């Protein structure tokens, strides 16, 4: 199959759909890979790196898209991209169609087949192509907190791990899923005192087992959230209720009793955030202050580390992408996990939740 990789064009998006290593795998499996010139610049991979991996470099996205049977990207196609898509082409990328009627209409009109990373499933009921970005965001959350805690950025001036004889930071992680676990790992590694709050008792049991006494776990109630948040130097918001907006677990009133110079990192901001005072920020201007509490609410945290994020994403997408390249649309029909990723098929929406939220026929 001819597989195309255009350069990402969304503002501040530096990741790439296929790394040179992934290209090598496609080429080894007998596919032809067409890569737009400079597609890998954001991760430090040159056109020559792609050529060595077996890719053909083309001058424009237009040429790449026009010549490919499958197009592999990172972000949802922009208007200038979806108008180029055609029937018989397969698009494999993050789509996030539910809040984006314009893109949905564009993809429907193109007649293409679009498989969304975010709805592909695995045998454990997880979302394997979303998980790597949650891992990145969870780990980054502690780095972001460490920066925001510094005095010159308005923070309390407490070192995350303290030093011998001086107490470390207290870090509270609300939501012990993928983001929360990875945040906790980093925080424990740096020597912080860590508490994870979750509403799932089985999950709290797993976390207790995993961390072997290095974190405290608490069941999520208004009382436990309030107690922990009041004593915290850092609170990480990492809850997810699938298909719904994040619950507001920390109210404005609670916030006003938090320590001045403490930090919240609301990773769940892409679902509306779990602090009443959160609003999305960008890497260019990541923090703001409310009631003396520093808020970090960047909605696309993995974009800060495109090198790590592209490799993590490619590791996860590779087996699915190869299956599509090897078998074409038959791969989608025979693999229920890829089938779960199918959002658009030749002018029809094929994912019920997306169709429902857009008010379009399914």
> Angle, nearest 10°, between helix axes 306-327 and 20-28?
20
Structure tokens at 212: 């072997």
In angstroms and rounded to an integer, the radius of gyration of the C-alpha atoms of the chain is 22
**Active-site annotation holder among 47, 96, 291, 337:** 96
For residue 235, the surrounding DSSP H or E stretch is strand 234-237
**Closest distance of CB 39 from ligand NAD, Å:** 22
Among 198, 233, 266, 270, the active-site one is: 270
Q: Which is nearer to ligand NAD, 120 or 174 (CB)?
A: 174
Asked whether 263 and 155 are in contact (CB, 8 A), the reply is: yes
Q: Binder to ligand NAD among 37, 147, 200, 308 (CB under 6 A)?
A: 200
Nearest-angstrom CA–CA distance, 316 and 86: 26
Active site residue 96: yes
Q: How far is the CB of 32 from ligand NAD (least distance, A)?
A: 33
Q: Binding residue for ligand NAD (CB under 6 A) from 114, 268, 313, 338? A: 268
Could you give the CA distance from residue 187 to residue 88 in angstroms, rounded to a whole number? Answer: 48
Residue 220 contacts ligand NAD per CB under 6 A: yes
Regarding 236 and contact with ligand NAD (CB under 6 A), the answer is no
Which of these, 225, 313, 240, lies nearest to 270 by C-alpha position?
240
Which residue in 118, 58, 66, 127 sits closest to 92, CA to CA?
118
User: Residue 84 is inside which H or E element, if any?
Assistant: none
By the rule CB under 6 A, 269 interacts with ligand NAD: yes
Instruction: Pull the structure tokens for residue 224.
Output: 């436990």
Binding residue (CB under 6 A) for ligand NAD from 110, 271, 309, 310: 271
Helix (H) or strand (E) holding 34: strand 32-36
The verdict on 235 binding ligand NAD (CB under 6 A) reads no
Active site residue 279: no
Stretch that binds ligand NAD, among 44-52, 176-184, 187-195, 341-349 (CB under 6 A): 176-184
Q: Applying CB under 6 A, which of residues 203, 216, 259, 311 lies at the interface with ligand NAD?
A: 203
Q: For ligand NAD, give the closer residue by CB, 115 or 133.
A: 133
Q: For residues 291 and 69, what is the distance between their CA atoms, to the nearest angstrom?
A: 53
Q: Pick from 137, 171, 250, 264 the residue near ligand NAD by CB under 6 A.
A: 137
186 interacts with ligand NAD by CB under 6 A: no
- 174 lies in the binding site for ligand NAD (CB under 6 A): yes
Q: Which is nearer to ligand NAD, 85 or 183 (CB)?
A: 183
| The only residue of 267, 294, 312, 355 in contact with ligand NAD, by rule CB under 6 A | 267
Q: Supply 134's token pair.
A: 């949650």
Q: Is 300 in the site for ligand NAD (CB under 6 A)?
A: yes
Q: Judging by DSSP bridges, how do beta strands 113-116 and 170-174 pair with one another?
A: unpaired
How near is the Cβ of 146 to ligand NAD at its closest, in Å?
17
Q: Is residue 251 classed as helix, strand or coil in its secondary structure?
A: coil
**Ranges within 60-89 binding ligand NAD (CB under 6 A):** none
> Rounded CA gap, 283 and 323, in Å?
35
Least distance in Å: CB of 175 to ligand NAD? 3
- Beta 215-219 vs 234-237: how paired, if at all? unpaired
Note whether 287 binds ligand NAD by CB under 6 A: no
Q: How far is CA 97 from the centre of its chain?
A: 15
- Give the pairing of strands 70-72 and 2-5: parallel
Active-site positions? 96, 270
**Footprint of ligand NAD on this chain (CB under 6 A)?**
133-134, 137, 174-180, 197-200, 203, 220, 238-241, 246-247, 249, 267-271, 299-302
């Amino acid at each position: 199959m001819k597989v195309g990789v255009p350069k990402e064009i969304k503002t501040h998006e530096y990741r790439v759909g296929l790394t040179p290593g992934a290209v090598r795998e496609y080429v080894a499996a007998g596919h032809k890979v067409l890569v737009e010139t400079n597609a890998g610049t954001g991760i430090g991979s040159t056109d020559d790196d792609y050529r060595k991996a077996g890719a053909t470099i083309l001058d424009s996205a237009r040429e790449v898209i026009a010549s490919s049977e499958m197009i592999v990207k990172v972000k949802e196609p922009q208007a200038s991209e979806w108008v180029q898509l055609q029937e018989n082409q397969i698009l494999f990328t993050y789509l996030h169609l539910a809040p984006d009627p314009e893109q949905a209409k564009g993809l429907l009109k193109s007649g293409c087949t679009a498989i969304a990373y975010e709805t592909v499933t695995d045998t454990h009921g997880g979302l394997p192509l979303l998980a790597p970005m949650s891992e990145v965001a969870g780990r980054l959350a502690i780095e972001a907190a460490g920066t925001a805690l510094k005095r010159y950025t308005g923070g309390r001036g407490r070192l995350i791990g303290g030093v011998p004889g001086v107490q470390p930071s207290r870090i509270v992680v609300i939501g012990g899923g993928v983001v929360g676990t990875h945040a906790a790992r980093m925080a424990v590694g740096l020597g912080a005192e860590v508490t994870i709050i979750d509403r799932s008792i089985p999950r709290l049991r797993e976390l207790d087992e995993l961390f072997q006494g290095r974190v405290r776990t608490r069941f999520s109630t208004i009382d436990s959230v309030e107690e922990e948040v009041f004593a915290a130097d850092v609170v990480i918001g990492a809850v997810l209720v699938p298909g719904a907006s994040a619950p507001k677990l920390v109210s404005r009133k609670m916030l006003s009793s938090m320590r001045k110079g403490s930090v919240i990192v609301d990773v769940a901001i892409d679902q509306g955030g779990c602090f009443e005072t959160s609003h999305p920020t960008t890497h260019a201007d990541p923090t703001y202050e409310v009631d003396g509490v520093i808020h970090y609410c960047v909605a696309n945290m993995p974009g800060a580390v495109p090198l790590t994020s592209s490799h993590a994403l490619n590791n996860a997408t590779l087996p699915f992408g190869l299956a599509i390249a090897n078998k074409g649309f038959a791969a989608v029909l025979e693999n229920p996990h890829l089938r779960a990723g199918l959002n658009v098929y030749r002018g029809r929406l094929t994912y019920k939740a997306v169709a429902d939220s857009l008010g379009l026929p399914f």
